Structure 1
Amino acid sequence: MHYVSAEGLTKSFGVNPLFNNISFHINEGDKIALIARNGVGKSTLLRILAGQETPDKGKLFVNKDVTVALFEQDPHFDETKTVLENIFSSNNPIMTVMREYEAAIEADNGEKITECIGKIDELGAWDYEAKVQQILAKLNIHHLQNVVSSLSGGQRKRVALAKTLIDIGFEHQHTLLMMDEPTNHLDVAMIEWLENYLNQESITLLLVTHDRYFLDAVVDEIWELERENMYTYVGDYENYVEKKAARIESELASIDKAKNEYRKELEWMRKQPKARTTKSKSRQDNFYEVEARAKQKIEDAQVQLQVKMSRLGGKIVEMKKVYKSYGDLPILKGFDYNFSKGERIGIIGKNGVGKSTFLNILLGLEPPDSGKVNVGDTIVFGNFSQQGLVIKENMRVIEYVKTFAENFPLANGGSLTAAQFLELFLFTPDKQYTYLNSLSGGEKKRLQLLTILFTNPNFLILDEPTNDLDLPTLAVLERFLTEYQGCVLIVSHDRYFMDRLVDHLFVFEGNGVVRDFPGNYTLLRLEEKEKEKKQGAGNKPQEEKKVEPMSQPVTSNLLPVTNTTPTKKLSFKEKQEFEQIEKAMPKLEAEKVALAEQMSAGNLSFDELKKISDRMIAITEELEAKELRWLELSV
């Protein structure tokens, strides 16, 4: 089915053209990535397709049977309403009854719950309820009655993502889902779940992302906006890089050919008399076409990073027996580590396990509860934090940079003015006099990186550096960090970025446990999958081992028959224990069956489901322990 057609779309902001005369088509089932430098118009194009903006020229056709859903980088909410009200804000009948149902459960209103259950039965919406619960659980969204204005930036992003995924689940089947950087503020487990979700669902997708593993896992076609044009590449990111290099090489060869032709035609034009009435009109027209081709510039401008790193002494950083907790939540339990010259360490772990707190302790921004952090005298930290730039009102880019220094020393012994250094970071002279609050998210990130490098650091701490950076800038940053001689500590959910750069990982496993893993993220995932495989293979023989030695008949669920007696001589205490186990196990099994029935009924809220699920896990573990003890006493 044909979803979208665009012919000759053109859009400019003032005198700056974003794209000119581009055409494309989107069909049902297409999964497309849109990439470009920051400020070229990716987000603008998505808003045009969503009907939020209009092109300057061109035609846009969206099939009347297609719903267009847009997930934006900066989500908009009704700040006075709760998470629940914002997620279920649609007037769709199913969404309305789901909102009423969740609210009734929160209020423990039995009469209203019964009424909602009847409506859900009529609409056949229990499948939607299960999908909603899955999305909320996987994105770690709880406390639905919290007001949205109280949420952090990451929480807001996850709520917006949940709302988008839930909305398209309730719409009719023909939906074009457009997502602008959906993986920002998601941990690795959430990103991997989202990959699977978008692959399993019949979704037509147009995606803007800097996460190259996510891109390869989800899309099969790449569109690039460059020099006002759109270029299409079928295949993965590696294929795109190869094909783009071949395209640029071909274009450069074509320009060289046009330059040779231009020189000949220019000579011919100069030889002609001023009165050109007799001159060939077609040749004159052709001359101007050749001139345009010859003067075309293939600008592949890239951020250039050449810093004069401060000298590193023999002592870097020592962390000795560092403890840190927030109330009952342990972050570090006796952490010990001596950093070495040139180390590249990645930090991974779920959101909320203390990664940012660890960085703050290392930087001296937050004290540990106990232990020591000894920093070498020569260490100059460069802290690229998630907080980003501290925006100063009515300050231009060039003025902001000059607050750090007027000149910047280079590795080759020379120096650059602040204006020259800004140009290396693709800030044109005009852009340098733009006010800070007018910069795009990616431009702010680029400026933040510039100001950090201005201090000549020899120990870089990068907390989610890839968020909002475009792919070309990321590639340059990766090359710079590969050649960087100082220490690098990276917190990132960008698996590709981590795999390219780190030598080993600090894995924050929760409860204050930090494991030093000797490899990159991919190697860690391979190890984890191998462990899961072994655990899965080990469970089956263990169950068989329980059954075979038993001399007395048992029920199919490994519960003992009530008249079973042990075959060996037991002490008085063991007899009592054996009898208590025989009484307890049927009760636990009955409770387990009852809980399973409650879960399958489909009328529970998320919190109730979580509570029951936790109880099921506890019962299963208790039953296994009692079964093993029962076997020991009965043989």
Structure 2
Amino acid sequence: MASPPVLFLKNTRLTFGATPLLTGADLVVGEGDRITLVGRNGSGKSTLLKIAAGLVEADDGERFVQPGKTIRYLPQEPDLSAYANTLAYVEAGLGPGDDAYRAQYLLTELGLTGEEKPAGLSGGEARRAALARVLAPEPDILLLDEPTNHLDLPAIEWLESELKSLRSALVLISHDRRFLENLSRTTVWLDRGVTRTLERGFAHFEDWRDEVLAEEERELQKLDQRIKAEEHWMRYGVTARRKRNVRRVGLLADMRRQKREHRGPTGAVRMEAAQAEAGSKLVIEAKGLSKSYAGRPIVSDFSTRVARGDRIGILGPNGAGKTTLLRLLTGDLEPDAGTVKLGISLEMQTLDQRRASLDPNTTLADALTDGKGDWVVIGEEKRHVIGYMKDFLFTPEQARTPLSALSGGERGRVMLARALARPSNLLVLDEPTNDLDLETLDLLEDLLGDYAGTVIVVSHDRDFIDRVVTSVIMAEGDGRWTEYAGGYSDMVAQRGKGVEARRAPDEERTTRPSQQTTAPQKTRSKLSFKDKHALETLPGRIEALTAKAAKLKAELADPALYGTDHGKFSRTANLLANTEAEIASMEEEWLRLEMLREELG
């Protein structure tokens, strides 16, 4: 029997300026649900999540949350400025009765001490603190917007395990396919302002989406045929039956309006890479590379050969030295020992994870043309910058927009567009998947598959690594790196384990002590009459209330109740919440008295 929703949005509508963003979006969250919310960048996923959290008010539609249910929302850009340190920030998110120790436990698991000052936090550290804040209370509903951004692989796998152990309902937005496949049981697709629901996990989404779009295309073709038939009748059909004529004129007008107002699927990113001459077969040869900082070895006696056409993935936890190894291999950093030999005629293009090469004051058009006019040259093809922008889902109106005004996903697409427009036979990609939507990731994977040159990629996205690379260089700790054939899954099979968190040699992993219930102190020799009476009567009262709660749940499970009598649905939901709270209170009182009875003997 289906449980009643603890949160739902119905027919949600929202317009920004003159552009409708949401035109009829629904979201239903039941107890313990595992929902992924998917859609293109800019489709309104984050906005819908904020409406569900009560942070943004829709122009129209209904929002309902069962009374007494708690919601926590993870923002993409948390603000910690009002707090002394990360521990104070996380503790401020706890409610009455929440386990105060979880704040420190979660911060430790996420690689923070709790003493970090907000002013000195990186974007990734602020996100991890925000994750600890929303997880600490173990709320009824968790709304998580890109929770894996800026997390390394050990943290992502830990987060998966933590979320699986919670009783909270989850609504997730993420570009990490493996993360979504492992956690979701329902998929909600936000497309052109409305939502469609698949009662299966994300692993089944893409096949279903393609079927939906194919059916939509077939229906549009049928509409075209009906319009042509009606237009032919209007020109050549019998005109004596005036009433029928008027009806069919109206029908034709309706069909034309339906076709005119039809919003097709959002345009796809079009990617192609400008490729340089192939160059030599040997791209990189490294022998005995070593590099240390402050006495700590980052790379120790590492050797490898990279040939033309190889796809190399570099994996390891944050702080292992992945970017340092990348810079050593590409000649951007001098080793303490060892040598690096680069191939002849090497044309390298780099996508860095911090988007550092983007001047925030530069306009979008100038960033793509290097300020040299209105044209982009890709290989032997000359493209106008507006047309090239459209390939990456930018509108002509954004041509003079400064990069500082773009979202993280849009800046990621700018970096891709710049890197792919320049001739290369070696692509170096440092965290290329950050802030990209799933369909853009698909196209990037396809492009890398067709790319004739060599690719070196640093990424925490397990699915992306599996799909793209031919071998993995893995951080083993203490500066040791080992190369494994295949992708991430192949590496795990050969190594026997995945990426582990990096810890200082003398650091011991904090373990969470088991919760202990403090026994009442012995302040009297026997139970009072009132306590004895409560011990005798509470079990019967709890049983009666449990039966009442079961009856209320059965009423709410009726799918017709909400649609036919919304007022009764709300009253019943409120009564159920109050009944369950009363049961919990009675159970706690009975447990306290039973422990007191045992203590007194």
Q: 1:408 aligns with which of 364, 376, 386?
A: 376
Unaligned runs of 5+ in 2: 500-509, 518-601
Indicate if the aligned counterparts of 2:409 and 2:435 stay in contact, CA closer than 8 A. Answer: yes
Structure 1 residues 518 and 390: alpha-carbon distance in aligned structure 2, compared to 1, 3 A threshold = closer
The Cα of 1:328 is off from its aligned counterpart by: 2.1
Does 2:262 match 1:259? no
Moved more, 8-17 or 400-409: 400-409
Indicate if the aligned counterparts of 2:13 and 2:23 stay in contact, CA closer than 8 A. Answer: yes
Q: 2:268 aligns with which of 287, 302, 326?
A: 302
Q: Partner of 1:216 in structure 2? A: 181
Indicate if the aligned counterparts of 1:248 and 1:298 stay in contact, CA closer than 8 A. Answer: no
Aligned pairs (5 A) from 1:63-142 = 63-78=66-81, 81-90=84-93, 92-93=95-96, 125=99, 129=101, 131-142=102-113
Q: Partner of 1:418 in structure 2? A: 385
The Cα of 1:193 is off from its aligned counterpart by: 1.5
Q: Any idea what the Cα deviations from partners look like across 1:204-251, whole Å, max 9, x if unmatched?
A: 011001111110110111111112221212223342111111111111
- 3-state DSSP of counterpart to 2:151: coil
Indicate if the aligned counterparts of 2:268 and 2:393 stay in contact, CA closer than 8 A. Answer: yes
Q: 1:30 aligns with which of 29, 33, 47?
A: 33
Q: Which has the larger radius of gyration?
A: 1
Does 2:402 match 1:431? no
Structure 1 residues 179 and 367: alpha-carbon distance in aligned structure 2, compared to 1, 3 A threshold = same
Structure 1 residues 32 and 342: alpha-carbon distance in aligned structure 2, compared to 1, 3 A threshold = same
Structure 2: how far apart are the matches of 1:531 and 1:394? 41
Q: Partner of 2:248 in structure 1? A: 283
The Cα of 1:438 is off from its aligned counterpart by: 2.0
Q: Partner of 1:585 in structure 2? A: none
Does 2:120 match 1:150? yes
Structure 2: how far apart are the matches of 1:155 and 1:80? 15
The Cα of 1:83 is off from its aligned counterpart by: 1.6
Q: 2:169 aligns with which of 189, 199, 204?
A: 204
The Cα of 1:531 is off from its aligned counterpart by: 11
Structure 2: how far apart are the matches of 1:137 and 1:526? 29
Structure 1 residues 90 and 420: alpha-carbon distance in aligned structure 2, compared to 1, 3 A threshold = closer
Indicate if the aligned counterparts of 2:11 and 2:60 stay in contact, CA closer than 8 A. Answer: yes
Structure 1: how far apart are the matches of 2:118 and 2:272? 43
Aligned pairs (5 A) from 1:329-478 = 329-388=296-355, 390-392=357-359, 394-403=361-370, 406=373, 407-410=375-378, 413-478=380-445
Structure 1: how far apart are the matches of 2:129 and 2:207? 37
Indicate if the aligned counterparts of 1:310 and 1:457 stay in contact, CA closer than 8 A. Answer: yes
Q: Partner of 1:520 in structure 2? A: 487
Indicate if the aligned counterparts of 1:495 and 1:521 stay in contact, CA closer than 8 A. Answer: yes
Q: 2:142 aligns with which of 157, 162, 177?
A: 177
- 3-state DSSP of counterpart to 1:408: strand
Unaligned runs of 5+ in 1: 96-124, 533-595, 604-635
Q: 1:244 aligns with which of 206, 209, 212?
A: 209
The Cα of 1:268 is off from its aligned counterpart by: 4.2
Structure 1 residues 530 and 229: alpha-carbon distance in aligned structure 2, compared to 1, 3 A threshold = closer
Indicate if the aligned counterparts of 1:256 and 1:294 stay in contact, CA closer than 8 A. Answer: no
| TM-score, normalised relative to structure 2 | 0.77
Letter in 2 for 1:266: E
Structure 2: how far apart are the matches of 1:443 and 1:269? 48
Q: Partner of 2:51 in structure 1? A: 48
Q: Any idea what the Cα deviations from partners look like across 1:562-608, whole Å, max 9, x if unmatched?
A: xxxxxxxxxxxxxxxxxxxxxxxxxxxxxxxxxx99977989xxxxx
Q: Partner of 2:132 in structure 1? A: 162
Indicate if the aligned counterparts of 2:14 and 2:59 stay in contact, CA closer than 8 A. Answer: yes
The Cα of 1:367 is off from its aligned counterpart by: 2.5
Structure 1: how far apart are the matches of 2:360 and 2:180? 37
Structure 1 residues 11 and 140: alpha-carbon distance in aligned structure 2, compared to 1, 3 A threshold = same
Letter in 2 for 1:157: R
Q: Any idea what the Cα deviations from partners look like across 1:273-322, whole Å, max 9, x if unmatched?
A: 99x99675543332232113444353352211122311122242222222
Structure 1: how far apart are the matches of 2:7 and 2:247? 39
Structure 1 residues 93 and 402: alpha-carbon distance in aligned structure 2, compared to 1, 3 A threshold = same
Aligned pairs (5 A) from 1:591-630 = none
Indicate if the aligned counterparts of 1:347 and 1:355 stay in contact, CA closer than 8 A. Answer: yes
Structure 1: how far apart are the matches of 2:213 and 2:12? 23
Indicate if the aligned counterparts of 1:404 and 1:454 stay in contact, CA closer than 8 A. Answer: no
Structure 2: how far apart are the matches of 1:361 and 1:205? 42
Structure with the larger helix share? 1
Q: 1:312 aligns with which of 278, 296, 312?
A: 278
Structure 1 residues 432 and 597: alpha-carbon distance in aligned structure 2, compared to 1, 3 A threshold = closer
Structure 1 residues 187 and 393: alpha-carbon distance in aligned structure 2, compared to 1, 3 A threshold = closer
Structure 1 residues 244 and 531: alpha-carbon distance in aligned structure 2, compared to 1, 3 A threshold = closer
The Cα of 1:504 is off from its aligned counterpart by: 0.9
Moved more, 426-435 or 224-233: 426-435
Indicate if the aligned counterparts of 2:14 and 2:20 stay in contact, CA closer than 8 A. Answer: yes
Letter in 2 for 1:467: N
Structure 2: how far apart are the matches of 1:20 and 1:243? 22
Structure 1: how far apart are the matches of 2:460 and 2:467? 13
The Cα of 1:266 is off from its aligned counterpart by: 2.8
Letter in 2 for 1:459: L
The Cα of 1:520 is off from its aligned counterpart by: 1.4
Indicate if the aligned counterparts of 1:389 and 1:448 stay in contact, CA closer than 8 A. Answer: no
Structure 1 residues 255 and 90: alpha-carbon distance in aligned structure 2, compared to 1, 3 A threshold = closer
Q: Any idea what the Cα deviations from partners look like across 1:119-175, whole Å, max 9, x if unmatched?
A: xxxxxx5xx52x445423321222x22312112222221111112111x33x5xxx2
- 3-state DSSP of counterpart to 1:253: helix
Indicate if the aligned counterparts of 1:220 and 1:235 stay in contact, CA closer than 8 A. Answer: yes
Structure 2: how far apart are the matches of 1:598 and 1:473? 40
Letter in 1 for 2:214: E
Indicate if the aligned counterparts of 1:80 and 1:149 stay in contact, CA closer than 8 A. Answer: no
Structure 2: how far apart are the matches of 1:512 and 1:405? 44
Letter in 2 for 1:515: T
The sequence identity of aligned pairs, in percent, is 31
Q: Partner of 1:630 in structure 2? A: none
The Cα of 1:182 is off from its aligned counterpart by: 0.5
Q: Partner of 1:8 in structure 2? A: 11
Letter in 1 for 2:204: N
- 3-state DSSP of counterpart to 1:525: helix
- 3-state DSSP of counterpart to 1:316: strand
Q: Partner of 1:195 in structure 2? A: 160
Structure 2: how far apart are the matches of 1:292 and 1:227? 18
Structure 2: how far apart are the matches of 1:375 and 1:188? 30
Letter in 2 for 1:249: A
Structure 1 residues 428 and 272: alpha-carbon distance in aligned structure 2, compared to 1, 3 A threshold = farther
